[in-house]
Amino acid sequence: MPWNDQSNGNGNGSDGRNRSQRPGDNGKSPWGNGPQGGGEPPEVDVDELVRNLQKRLGGIFGGGSGGGKGAGRGGKGLGGLGLGVIVVALIGVWFFTPGSGWYVVNAEEQGVILRFGAYNRTELPGFHWKLPVPFEKALKPKVARVHQENIGFRVSGRNVASNIPHESLMLTGDENIVDINFSVIWQINNARDFLFNLDDPVGAVKAVSESAMREVVGKNDLQPIITRGRLIVENSARDLIQTALDEYGAGVVITQVQLQKADPPSRVLEAFRDVVNAGQDAETKVNQATAYANDVVPKARGDAAKLEQEAIGYRDSVIAEATGEAERFNLIHGEYKKAPQVTRQRMYLETMERVLRGTDKIILDKKAGNQVVPYLPLNTKKLQNPQGGR
């Protein structure tokens, strides 16, 4: 029959079906026996292509043996082996290419692994492996790096800082305006929160810092802010910023807030500087007066104590001397009562001894009468008593 050729030649199978014919026609095509008959080309069957691909991949583990048909299957197995090797090589490259399979987390980083876009785990610094893209993806935020946000000023060319008016001008508690430039130093302390809780964590740090500083400045007067209260403002702003960011779950820690400048507006800056200088001069004078008082008062107290001790000593010596003289007089008076004549004579002699002890003396014998002419030396130096005696 022209539509059912039962021959086994020309590549036909044992069932008499031409392998080049379309599936399901049972070899009864009215256009001939396939391409050899010069008829219309067969349609492509996707299921047949998948089965052929599976057969070729199966050839990696060995083909058939013996006969012409075995040889044909062996040829297909050889082609499948090459295709399988290519597929395995591509899979190996996919799994083990740096960044796709294995990856390295540096010392200042943490590895945050996303599995199908959702958080899965956090890796510490070192060598790690993950499922390749698109199954898992690694994000590596730098958690040890110190970040700084400048608020109120920007650095232009040649490191010249210029103010940003809407950020630097703030209203104080006593209704004055202060021009403030400050920096916020921060680090990442929770990589997962930093990456996923906020859309723009860096912008959030800057916005929260400006808002917190305005609140702190609004609760304080101008004078402490620009003079002695700068440290209080810095610490208060840091605590307030940290509290707000913790409520947002930003995953950052504020290490320091630094006031770069805190001055009145430029139009009144000179007047405020004069006031500050006057206050500093007054404080200097007070310190100098305090130092002088601390130097003079102890000396005066020491001199007063010295005079007091000298007076006490003089009083005690006079009292003791008077007491001794009185006691001596009492003793003499007692002896005088016992022998008045002898006591008078003794007192006379002792008195004359004291009076005549330092004087030059000329003794004349009254028995000589008028026969002796008194002699008075003319050398006045001998008559002078250096001790004041007469």
Is 16 among the domain residues? yes
Residues 212 and 167 in one domain: yes
pLDDT at position 307 is 94
Overall average pLDDT of the 289-307 stretch: 92
Residues 153 and 255 in one domain: yes
pLDDT at position 279 is 82
Is 327 among the domain residues? no
Residues 253 and 237 in one domain: yes
The span from the CA of 123 to the CA of 125, in Å, is 7
Is 340 among the domain residues? no
Residues 59 and 133 in one domain: no
pLDDT at position 156 is 64
The backbone torsions φ and ψ at residue 263, rounded to the nearest 5 degrees and listed phi first, read -130, 160
Residues 107 and 164 in one domain: no
- Higher model confidence: residue 70 or residue 315? 315
Residues 162 and 232 in one domain: yes
pLDDT at 329 over 90: no
Domain boundary, last residue among 43, 60, 77: 43
Is 363 among the domain residues? no
Is the full-model pTM beyond 0.85? Answer: no
pLDDT at position 378 is 59
- Higher model confidence: residue 10 or residue 354? 354
pLDDT band with cut points at 50, 70 and 90 for residue 382: low
Is 153 among the domain residues? yes
Give the lowest-confidence range in 102-116, 229-243, 292-306.
102-116
Residues 219 and 162 in one domain: yes
- Higher model confidence: residue 30 or residue 285? 285
Residues 224 and 174 in one domain: yes
pLDDT at position 9 is 42
Residue type, 248: Y
The string of pLDDT tens digits covering residues 155-171 is 665 555 667 778 888 99
Query: Domain of 227: which CATH number?
Result: 3.30.479.30
pLDDT band with cut points at 50, 70 and 90 for residue 54: low
pLDDT at 71 over 50: no
pLDDT band with cut points at 50, 70 and 90 for residue 290: very high
Overall average pLDDT of the 139-146 stretch: 86
- Higher model confidence: residue 363 or residue 14? 363
Domain boundary, last residue among 213, 242, 264: 264
The string of pLDDT tens digits covering residues 193-217 is 898 888 899 999 999 999 999 999 9
Is 64 among the domain residues? yes
Residues 63 and 169 in one domain: no
Residues 56 and 39 in one domain: no
Domain boundary, last residue among 214, 233, 264: 264
Give the lowest-confidence range in 6-10, 76-80, 230-234.
6-10
pLDDT at position 185 is 94
- Higher model confidence: residue 153 or residue 218? 218
Residues 118 and 182 in one domain: no
pLDDT at 10 over 60: no
Residues 56 and 151 in one domain: no
Is 269 among the domain residues? no
Q: Which residue range(s) make up the domain with 11?
A: 1-43
pLDDT at 242 over 90: yes
Most confident listed range (129-133, 224-228, 292-296): 292-296
The span from the CA of 21 to the CA of 323, in Å, is 160
pLDDT band with cut points at 50, 70 and 90 for residue 69: very low
Is 169 among the domain residues? yes
- Mean pLDDT, the chain, integer: 75
How many domains are there within the chain? 4
